[in-house]
Amino acid sequence: MSQDAPVLAATTDNFDQLVLENSRKGPVLVDFWASWAGSSLRQRELLQRLAAEQAEPVERLDAALARTPADSEVRFTRAAVAVMRDDFDAALEHLAEIQRLDADFRQGLVRQALLVVLDLLGPDDERTRRFRQSLFQH
């Protein structure tokens, strides 16, 4: 996913749908929070700080790429962050650019990373088909 993960308020009525069903798709953080509890207020501050820190590396990486678009190391790191955020379109874009600029980057690691992303998407995903078709157009 290219945007931040949603923050949802689960209740006893929707807990199964919001938490259990989403946990089959990936990690779900459940926070039992009370506005009156000191520990909840401290935890809220920590979670807000962690969310800000997670967003910051993407901004720094994007700024570094704007300055030096041919930096394969930065681009590879940006692709890895995109995969962690389920932003497979961005990951494929960055990996394809590295492949175009430096096919032997890290002894062919980019080709392996591309295969992993395509495997995560699955053979029936439109992005997989589109990417594979683009390989034959060059």
pTM: 0.58
Residue found by looking up tokens 């995969």 in the block: 83
pLDDT given for residue 1 in this prediction: 39
Domain boundaries, the chain: 9-67, 69-138
pLDDT given for residue 47 in this prediction: 64
User: What backbone torsions phi and psi does residue 83 show, to the nearest 5 degrees?
Assistant: -60, -45
pLDDT given for residue 131 in this prediction: 87
**Within 10 Å of residue 119's Cβ, how many Cβ atoms?**
10
pLDDT truncated to tens, each residue of the chain (138 aa)?
345 566 677 777 888 888 888 778 777 777 777 767 777 777 777 766 766 666 667 888 899 999 999 999 999 989 988 887 788 999 999 999 999 999 888 888 888 889 889 988 889 999 999 988 887 775
| Cβ pair 79, 90 in contact under 8 A | yes
pLDDT given for residue 54 in this prediction: 62
pLDDT given for residue 111 in this prediction: 87
Q: Which candidate, 53, 78, 51, places its Cα nearest to that of 64?
A: 78
